[in-house]
Structure 1
Amino acid sequence: MNKEEIQRQYSPRQWSHRMSADDVVNAHVKVITAGTERARGLAQTLLNVPYGEGDGEKLDVYIPSTTSLDVPLVICIHGGYWQFLSKEEFGFMAVPLIHKGVVLVAVDYDIAPKGNMDLMVSQVRKSVVSVIQQYSHISGLYLCGHSAGAHLAAMILSTDWSQYNVTPQIKGAFLVSGIYDILPILSTTVNEPLKMTEEVAVRNSPSNLVPQLKISSSSCHIVVAVAQHDSPEFRKQSEQYCKALEAAGLNVTMEDVPNTDHFDVIEKMIDGDYRLTKLLLKMMGKD
């Protein structure tokens, strides 16, 4: 592929079947912001809880009103190509989850240009450590990430936890419309604020780290989801990453979601009857 085609393939807004490139992004921000406001009206919340020393190292907790001891917790990592959006728009998934007694934690990290790729990966890993230290009584820890957030969630799965003095028992991961080999990004405008070198991209590409995944196939179920109207390259990335996980003997399911694009494939997780929401609830035994 020439540079123009790579740029087009890695511009999700160009592939929506519903609306124009600019409209689909504006609509996405509007929908998930409104959804997060709705979630904050429904749940008990702890907002801007620090998980580290940095200004960007904060998380929001959405707590169901339940007396049950069987409380699973989902850590959500927002997308936005590592340079856009925040936890402020990513609490919307709490809407169907809190009704089922599930805690949702939306994580912030320092997006570019303030943050670089190594820092962002380090921050989301640190957020997991903080969550399991603060919520040691949870019945299961699950990850969910969209787009760049799916990349960061996959990097969490690839963590060598020995340096953190904890080993999170991650029971499931939902990776939605993610990028798992970030080398192609180097030749696109996406990399302008990120300023990644090839070396940085290689060490932060989950596809290169599958051999060192420390999770066991029996305890963690990974769902790799992709939208029907994601670009061919995004779709290929999900398929190849799924195959690599499968080849490594991990418990992985590929979900090709019909009639969705890169944006509404995650937006629809505000709906309890949506295919991916039902799959997540079933994974947690909350269907």
Structure 2
Amino acid sequence: MSRGRWRDMAAEELQQQYSPSRWARRLRGDAAVRAHIEAVTAGTQRARAGTRSSLHVPYGEADGERLDIYFPAEPSETFPAFVYIHGGYWQCLRGIYLCGHSAGAHLAAMVLCTDWTEFGVVPDIRGAVLVSGLYDLEPILHTYVNDALNMSWEVAQRNSPMLCITQAVPAAAACEVLVAVAQHDSPEFRRQSQEYSQALRSAGWSVSLLDLATVDHFDIIEKLSEDTYILIQVILNMIARG
């Protein structure tokens, strides 16, 4: 499915393509979203109980601009930072590794295409894990998602990672990018992951595409708490190489 094929879809089909809960395997609709929230909340509680943490650290002035920091169990002077950005359609400088899910993957991808020299910094981003993400926002304009976002076409174009990929400079080429997608993601989510990874590769980025069998848009990220899960193994190997 090429980038323009979504324009041939009827409005109802496009709504379904960008409604991940309609493609979930275990539950459907709101039940799938509630189960996902329960799963990640339980995982967060386990993490807080088992590690040192600094919670609700502000990085901006708005109430929602907070992050939780979890420290390694063993004291260390230096350690990699793994930054996870949750999904939710944007509503709900040691070595840095980014990880984003769904709309969070879009935000992580935007970090990759930002010209940080304009801000006087060169962050040491060594790896990025983009899970079931959105990299072309134009189709979103024609779905229920934009009822709340109210994006214009210009805003969607300006904030589509697919459209702002730059040729990889040496620092970017050293950043390993993993684009992961679920077998049971919608065809549109799968198309976006495939086309974005190919576009990065064509621009000289070090990128691989991981198509994960048996999982859907939600448990592809929920299973990160399982030591034997292939995605967590790939992430740990990426960090070890860095």
Corresponding residue for residue 3 of structure 2 = none
The CA RMSD measured in Å over matched residues stands at 1.5
Residue of 204, 207, 223 corresponding to 1:252: 207
Corresponding residue for residue 53 of structure 2 = 45
Residue of 156, 166, 178 corresponding to 1:211: 166
**TM-score in terms of structure 2 length:** 0.92
Corresponding residue for residue 21 of structure 1 = 29
Alignment of 1:137-286 (within 5 A): 138=94, 140-211=95-166, 216=171, 218-285=173-240
Q: Is contact 2:20–2:217 with CA below 8 Å preserved after alignment? A: yes
Q: CA deviation at 1:81?
A: 1.1
State the percentage of identical aligned residues.
Answer: 52
Corresponding residue for residue 81 of structure 1 = 89
**In the TM superposition, what whole-angstrom CA distance separates every residue of 1:97-122 from its partner, at most 9, and x where no partner exists?**
xxxxxxxxxxxxxxxxxxxxxxxxxx
Q: Is contact 1:228–1:258 with CA below 8 Å preserved after alignment? A: yes
Q: CA deviation at 1:42?
A: 0.8
**TM-score in terms of structure 1 length:** 0.78
- Separation (CA, whole Å) in 2 of partners of 1:55 and 1:26: 23
- Separation (CA, whole Å) in 2 of partners of 1:144 and 1:4: 31
Report the count of equivalent residues.
233
Corresponding residue for residue 4 of structure 2 = none
Name the amino acid aligned to 1:52: G
- Separation (CA, whole Å) in 1 of partners of 2:157 and 2:169: 19
- Separation (CA, whole Å) in 2 of partners of 1:54 and 1:209: 27
Report the secondary structure of 2:165's partner residue. helix
- Separation (CA, whole Å) in 1 of partners of 2:147 and 2:57: 31
Alpha-carbon distance change, 215 to 51 in structure 1, aligned in 2, over 3 angstroms: farther
- Separation (CA, whole Å) in 1 of partners of 2:123 and 2:153: 30
Gaps of 5+ in 1: 85-131, 133-137
**In the TM superposition, what whole-angstrom CA distance separates every residue of 1:21-42 from its partner, at most 9, and x where no partner exists?**
2221111000000100110001
Q: Is contact 1:158–1:213 with CA below 8 Å preserved after alignment? A: no
Gaps of 5+ in 2: 1-8
Name the amino acid aligned to 1:224: V
**In the TM superposition, what whole-angstrom CA distance separates every residue of 1:220-268 from its partner, at most 9, and x where no partner exists?**
1000000000000100000000000010111001000000000000000
Q: Is contact 1:216–1:250 with CA below 8 Å preserved after alignment? A: no
Name the amino acid aligned to 2:44: T
